[in-house]
Structure 1
Amino acid sequence: AGIIEPGAFRFICNGEQVLHLEIALGYQHRGVERTMTADDNVLRQTLVAESVAGDSAVAHATAYAQLREKLAGKEGAPTPLDRERAIALELERMAMHIADTGALCMDVGYQLGQVACEALRTVTINTTQAWCGNRFGKGLIRPFGTNHPLTDTTIDLVRRNIADVRRRYDEVRHDIKSSPSLLSRFEQCGIVPRSEMIRIGGVGPAARASGVGRDLRSSHPWGVYGGEILHEPFVKQQGDVMARLMMRCRETLQSADYVLRLLDACDPAAPLPSPDYAPAARPDALAFGLVEGWRGEICHVALTDAQGALRGYKIKDPSLHNWLALALAVRGEGISDFPICNKSFNLSYCGHDL
């Protein structure tokens, strides 16, 4: 890429070998955090939150909704609303992990894996669209309630689609693992040792692929993750492209199992509250929203003034940590291996530029 709108990459090479990669980001100057405190319109803030990173709309909107509910003093026992939010999060995780699997297959010329994953990802995001009207889940997560409660019809559709996607994706996973040409490209490529991942504060599947078991669903469980689902994160030790790919494969299957289990516990007859866009908020308060998105941990932090309005807002997307991991991964590798190293992280420009 060299120079693109949101970032610049400078490769320092000795022939074909990368000695160092300098990554400079933030040229779009999006002003997301500043927009969150421009006025106290909760609906507008919700729309901004789900636009922090378009491929993590559900995760960022959930973090904002959690924060708002804590400011209103309404956190407590898991509710049916928490269950539906968890289903949406796991659907988002599935869709993006499947897309990344296809992208890695594409970069090494494995067209069968690419087109199979593209088809499965389409089924997954179309399932989300059938639920809420948007493929990326925008409009699905709202503070204090929902405009799209699950119905018997929606539950049947999601259950049928996800069970089929799980079965077919598992076949793709077996094909990848049994292809010597793919293994020769992915194994021992782009290694980030555990010590380095700890040093830079790496998060998400990339960190877990290097032996660092960071996952908010187990370390800071909320809602159903502290009861109906006792999450055990997968951890690998190799820290290479193959480990990061296999993390995606295992987590996709795990998320599908979670979705199916949560759907079985859903009761469409139980009414869910509608969103509240004019909540009372505690004055002079500090609140956090913590969610494990598909890239890793997402954190939203807010401070309120004496009237309960937001006077400070900070967002931490997992890409903030992991861009440096990409620079470490390509160090000492051939320049031709940069695309698969890059895809094995699939980091966000806009999530970094806030």
Structure 2
Amino acid sequence: GFQHRGIERLICGTPNRLRQSVLSESIAGDSVVAHALAYAEVAEGLGEPGVEFDPAANDLGIERTVALEMERIAMHLADTGALCMDIGYQLGQVACEALRTIVINTTQRWCGNRFAKGLIRFGGTHYPLTDDLKMLVLKNLNEVETRYAEVVHSLEGTSSVLARFEDCGVVTRTQALRIGAVGMAARASGLVRDIRQTHPRGAYGKLIAHDPVAENSGDVYARLRVRMREVAQSAGYVRTLLDTLDCGMRVASLPDYRMALESDALAFSLVEGWRGEVCHVGITGSDGQFRQYKIYDPSLHNWTALALSVRGAGISDFPICNKSFNLSYCGHDL
């Protein structure tokens, strides 16, 4: 009874860019910001000739980067808790669940949705950050980072936890290179692939000099370590970005859903989501509407990494290997 979703076909089948934005948010529910941002950058890159629009260079670009890093933090917290659950370490599980709730509830205060649906839009925003929201983000982020550091200390100091994670589900650097692994999974195997460094856009490269987090052992623990270190790194990035944002002086532009796209043109966007690189490519026809739209989710290559990690392993190792990658089924069904 499986039915293909056909997201790419649906985006091409509607000229309404609001509907296209909503569709992009539905590609993978745990990567709403990453995919919505990739779509927005494609559409903005295809803006009709004579219309210059580069949100990456202004406050909108800063806010989008904040949202992207908050999504990364929330998912890394969730995955830390899920890995703890799979080995019966209840303290780590419940602590991380509570911390993730703080992060996504902060996003809800920002835009009315815990997963940031409605936040990223073509050409502008309906939810510019205010000074009060900015202070709320900083306050909650400080609490989450402090409490998560205690969880990390507990995990790293519990021998029974380390015994289950270390040397389990190993993917070597050579294997990761051969299969084209990307993002967090690649970096845990010593293969440094991160769009924020190689193809920086917006705040990356301007306000943030990104230094990718990497581990070398390629096991479940390495993938957990990447997550733990990136939570602290992303929290620091959000603070840096918010320190540069003067919300009181800002006049935010609203999304322009009626802006025509350039005809017979191509644009693509690369965004480093929490799972890895997201790529969207749009091609317009003579009528200025999408004739073809292609979406790339990082799960595409990393599914093979999961398969390699469980070869020869005991059946009890599968749940934690699977969770250590946490790949997207719907992100693969496009």
TM-score using structure 1 length: 0.91
Q: Which moved more, 1:280-289 or 1:296-305?
A: 280-289
Residue 119 (structure 2) pairs with residue 144 (structure 1): no
1:11-59 CA distance string (max 9 Å, x none): xxxxxxxxxxxxxxxx441100000100211000000001100110011
Q: Aligned to 2:83, which of 104, 107, 115?
A: 104
Equivalent runs, 1:179-198 vs 2, <5 Å = 179-198=158-177
Equivalent runs, 1:62-81 vs 2, <5 Å = 62-72=37-47, 74-75=53-54, 78-81=57-60
In 2, distance between residues paired with 1:186 and 1:171?
Answer: 19
Q: Which residue in the other structure is 2:102 paired with?
A: 123
Q: Which residue in the other structure is 1:290 paired with?
A: 270
- Please tell me whether the aligned partners of residues 28 and 353 of structure 1 are also in contact (alpha carbons under 8 angstroms): no
Secondary structure of the corresponding residue to residue 226 of structure 1? coil
In 2, distance between residues paired with 1:138 and 1:77?
Answer: 20
Residue 316 (structure 2) pairs with residue 336 (structure 1): yes
Task: Name whichever structure is richer in strand by fraction.
Answer: 1
- Please tell me whether the aligned partners of residues 56 and 201 of structure 2 are also in contact (alpha carbons under 8 angstroms): no
Q: Which residue in the other structure is 1:13 paired with?
A: none
State the identity %. 61
Q: Which residue in the other structure is 1:43 paired with?
A: 18
AA aligned to 1:80 is: D
Structure 1 gaps, min length 5: 6-26
Q: Which residue in the other structure is 2:228 paired with?
A: 249
| CA deviation after TM superposition for structure 1 residue 263, in Å | 1.0
TM-score using structure 2 length: 0.97
- Please tell me whether the aligned partners of residues 105 and 114 of structure 2 are also in contact (alpha carbons under 8 angstroms): yes
Residue 35 (structure 2) pairs with residue 60 (structure 1): yes
Q: Which moved more, 1:100-109 or 1:27-36?
A: 27-36
| CA deviation after TM superposition for structure 1 residue 237, in Å | 0.7
Q: Which residue in the other structure is 1:323 paired with?
A: 303
1:159-213 CA distance string (max 9 Å, x none): 1000110111011111111110010000000000111111111011110000110
| CA deviation after TM superposition for structure 1 residue 75, in Å | 3.3
AA aligned to 1:216 is: I
Residue 279 (structure 2) pairs with residue 281 (structure 1): no
> When the two structures are aligned, how many residues end up with a matched partner?
329
Q: Which residue in the other structure is 1:14 paired with?
A: none
Residue 8 (structure 2) pairs with residue 29 (structure 1): no
Secondary structure of the corresponding residue to residue 176 of structure 2? helix
Q: Which runs of 4+ in 1 moved over 6 A?
A: none
Secondary structure of the corresponding residue to residue 57 of structure 2? coil
- Please tell me whether the aligned partners of residues 169 and 219 of structure 2 are also in contact (alpha carbons under 8 angstroms): yes
Structure 2 gaps, min length 5: none
Q: Which residue in the other structure is 2:285 paired with?
A: 305
- Please tell me whether the aligned partners of residues 205 and 295 of structure 1 are also in contact (alpha carbons under 8 angstroms): yes
1:198-247 CA distance string (max 9 Å, x none): 11110111100001100000101000002100101011110000000000
Secondary structure of the corresponding residue to residue 352 of structure 1? coil
In 1, distance between residues paired with 2:41 and 2:153?
Answer: 38
Q: For the structure 1 residues 76 and 46, does the alpha-carbon distance in structure 2 shift closer, same or farther, using more than 3 Å as the test?
A: closer
Q: Which residue in the other structure is 1:168 paired with?
A: 147
In 1, distance between residues paired with 2:29 and 2:66?
Answer: 18
Secondary structure of the corresponding residue to residue 298 of structure 1? strand
| CA deviation after TM superposition for structure 1 residue 76, in Å | 7.2
- Please tell me whether the aligned partners of residues 140 and 146 of structure 1 are also in contact (alpha carbons under 8 angstroms): yes
AA aligned to 2:118 is: G
Q: Aligned to 1:214, which of 193, 200, 206?
A: 193
Secondary structure of the corresponding residue to residue 224 of structure 1? coil
Residue 197 (structure 2) pairs with residue 202 (structure 1): no
In 1, distance between residues paired with 2:41 and 2:145?
Answer: 29
1:230-272 CA distance string (max 9 Å, x none): 1010111100000000000000111111111111111112111
Residue 62 (structure 2) pairs with residue 83 (structure 1): yes
In 1, distance between residues paired with 2:169 and 2:125?
Answer: 42
